Structure 1
Amino acid sequence: MGMLVGKVAVITGGNSGIGLSAAKTFAAEGAQVVITGRRQQAVDDAIEQIGAGALGIQGDVADLTHHDRIAKEIANKFGALDIYMANAGINTITHSAEVSEAEYDAQFAVNTRGVFFGVQKLAPIMRDGGAIILTGSIASEKVLDGHAVYAGSKAALGAFARSWSIELKSRGIRVNVLSPGPVDTEILAKLGIPAEQRGTFEKAMAEAIPLGRMGLPEELAKAALFLATDASSFVTGVNLRVDGGMTLL
């Protein structure tokens, strides 16, 4: 029997990358998975890949009404929620001197504001003993070139997790941060790394990571599964770095 049979899980940004891999893993373990994403076609494509009766809700986590709609749909369809993975995020790599107001606002709107109000709206419909997972980043601890705004937006998640772990302790709801290092997903192309430079980029990453390679989405999904299940029943308020040791250097 799967580790998540009978559980309802919502994953924001579940249409690609780490979110999609986590959705597949949760579904394979028996969870009823609901994903969200900004583009309807991407959500529909992801649902086909996830299978197992997964559902999709199109919308932007920066829009606070989106969270109200998610909460309403989950309550109507399933009655309650067991796992919430606030995974949606964006990153614009720009030196601080060149960051525009629009870039700054967009990253904080999605990465920070969207996470805060998502938890605010969905925690009330979570079953006691549930799990909240916030997808952070090692950028919140390790200085990376051009990541100042992104790092700031992700650093807030650690403070959220610690506060919510105490605020929700009477209900047994655990809140943890999952902080990936470099992961081999389609986001690399979105960050502007051309195909012809991929080999050079991977070599540079391998040299910067003690384990000698980038992570795989499946490895992050396994870590998320740990935080979502009773395997981590005595773990709350932590920042789990899944980075091949990169933060150590």
Structure 2
Amino acid sequence: MSRLLNKTALITGGTSGIGLETARQFIAEGARVAVTGSSVAGIDAARAALGDSALVIKADAADVEGQKDVADAVRNAFGHLDILFINAGIAEFGPLEQWTEERFDRSFAVNVKGPFFLMQALLPLMSNPASVVLNTSINAHIGMPNSSVYSLTKGALLTFAKTLSGELISRGIRVNAVSPGPITTPLHDKLSPTPADAKVMTSQIQAQIPVGRFGTAGEVAKTVVFLASDEAAYIVGSELIIDGGMSNL
């Protein structure tokens, strides 16, 4: 396949899960790829998995000044950017009364503030045409208990995608969003304190999914590839929900 032949792409949070699988599929489709990650272990794993086919950049998604460094690294490597997949994020859950200002601010810094200023830093590098895809969540649509802060951040990111789609289309930049439901990734495994708790939670969530299973990172990545490609040239400001029908209940 060569749907992204000779295109340049940046994937934030690209060292594991959906981001890493999307990097693999972008490369298979002919793109030159850069990914960001924050942990040394994740960066090393991504370099081992992607080899010389990708530039791996260490970056904290919450660091506003650091977003300029990411943009500089992309400029030095590629000179311009055709595709941006804003994927880095954190998911913390808990009842309303247990949230602290520090945890609240961290979630918004990673999931909203960092992406906003990354987009600002990268704007001078964006090609005409270009494609931007933001990874939001079905939690922006459903009233899942204990997800108040996470849902707030993803709702903000979805609104950002829709607003930018109108603001940037005159520059040839298409902005869209993907909103995954429950996906089997390392992030999901971190949501429970013990393996036993994770098994119970997985069973409870799975019972709410009409197709009867969690989605895979590959299924989300295929949707991102489509939105990034010229096949989606007439898709602007859209949200593609990838949740096995969960949000339709």
TM-score with structure 1 length normalisation?
Answer: 0.96
Misfit runs of 4+, over 3 Å: 196-202
For 1:57, the aligned partner's letter is I
For 1:161, the aligned partner's letter is A
Q: Which residue of 1 aligns with 2:85?
A: 85
CA RMSD of aligned residues (A): 1.3
Q: Which residue of 2 aligns with 1:167?
A: 167
Alignment of 1:21-100 (within 5 A): 21-51=21-51, 53-100=53-100
Q: Which residue of 2 aligns with 1:122?
A: 122
Q: Is the 8 A contact 1:35 1:43 kept in 2?
A: no
Q: Distance in 1 between matches of 2:116 and 2:42?
A: 24
Q: Per the alignment, in what secondary structure is the counterpart of residue 51 of structure 1? A: helix
Q: Is the 8 A contact 2:107 2:150 kept in 1?
A: yes
Alignment of 1:104-119 (within 5 A): 104-119=104-119
Q: Is the 8 A contact 2:13 2:37 kept in 1?
A: yes
Q: Is the 8 A contact 1:82 1:131 kept in 2?
A: yes
Deviations 1:183-207 (A, max 9, x none): 0111122112532344433332222
For 1:69, the aligned partner's letter is D
Q: Distance in 2 between matches of 1:52 and 1:144?
A: 41
* Alpha-carbon offset, residue 9 of structure 1: 0.7
For 2:200, the aligned partner's letter is T
Q: Distance in 2 between matches of 1:91 and 1:247?
A: 18
Q: Per the alignment, in what secondary structure is the counterpart of residue 208 of structure 1? A: coil
Matched, 1:134 2:131: no
Q: Which residue of 1 aligns with 2:233?
A: 233
* Alpha-carbon offset, residue 247 of structure 1: 0.6
For 2:145, the aligned partner's letter is D
Q: Is the 8 A contact 1:27 1:52 kept in 2?
A: no
Q: Is the 8 A contact 2:132 2:176 kept in 1?
A: yes
Q: Which residue of 2 aligns with 1:212?
A: 212
Q: Distance in 2 between matches of 1:248 and 1:227?
A: 22
Q: Is the 8 A contact 2:9 2:33 kept in 1?
A: yes
Q: Is the 8 A contact 1:75 1:125 kept in 2?
A: yes
Deviations 1:173-232 (A, max 9, x none): 110111110001111221125323444333322220111111001001001111111121
Q: Per the alignment, in what secondary structure is the counterpart of residue 74 of structure 2? A: helix
Deviates more, 1:145-154 or 1:159-168: 159-168
Deviations 1:51-108 (A, max 9, x none): 3521111010111122111111211221100111110101111111211111100000
Deviations 1:132-160 (A, max 9, x none): 11110111110111110110111011221
Q: Per the alignment, in what secondary structure is the counterpart of residue 124 of structure 2? A: helix
Q: Distance in 2 between matches of 1:230 and 1:51?
A: 27
Q: Which residue of 2 aligns with 1:14?
A: 14
Q: Unaligned 5+ residue runs, structure 2? A: none
Q: Is the 8 A contact 2:192 2:198 kept in 1?
A: no
Q: Distance in 1 between matches of 2:164 and 2:29?
A: 26
Q: Which residue of 1 aligns with 2:200?
A: 200
Q: Unaligned 5+ residue runs, structure 1? A: none
Q: Distance in 1 between matches of 2:246 and 2:239?
A: 15
The count of residues paired between Structure 1 and Structure 2 equals: 249
Q: Per the alignment, in what secondary structure is the counterpart of residue 144 of structure 2? A: coil
Q: Per the alignment, in what secondary structure is the counterpart of residue 10 of structure 1? A: strand
